[in-house]
Structure 1
Amino acid sequence: MPGISIRCGAPRGVSPIVPIGANAGAPNNPLQQKEILRETLLNLVSIDKPGQNVPLPIEY
């Protein structure tokens, strides 16, 4: 939820397209969860200004 992340003042964020509370991906889907974690870490290091949020192309 990029809007929530930005309003709460998170220094940086990434947003996969998943239901609220399932930020790590679908239950019992370790491949998707690993992909979300990998993409999150790769994208977080590239954010260079406070409050920026990067959408991830991962959906469930």
Structure 2
Amino acid sequence: MWQHNQSIELSDNVLLDQKLDYLHMNPVVSGFVSEPEHWNWSSALDNSGSKGLLDVNMIE
């Protein structure tokens, strides 16, 4: 079943961090890795101080 998504404005850092945490935890919850930083295609690597496979540009 297809779910319709609605856009939301990430108006502050708290909301942005909440959504990033959700995205980073998806491979963990699915059982692919034990830690978000172990997923090679995740920006969780960059957030932990390492360098992931993708370029991440944080907007300040």
TM-score w.r.t. the length of structure 1 is 0.32
Structure richer in helix, relative to its length: 2
TM-score (norm 2): 0.32
| Structure having the larger proportion of residues in strand | 1
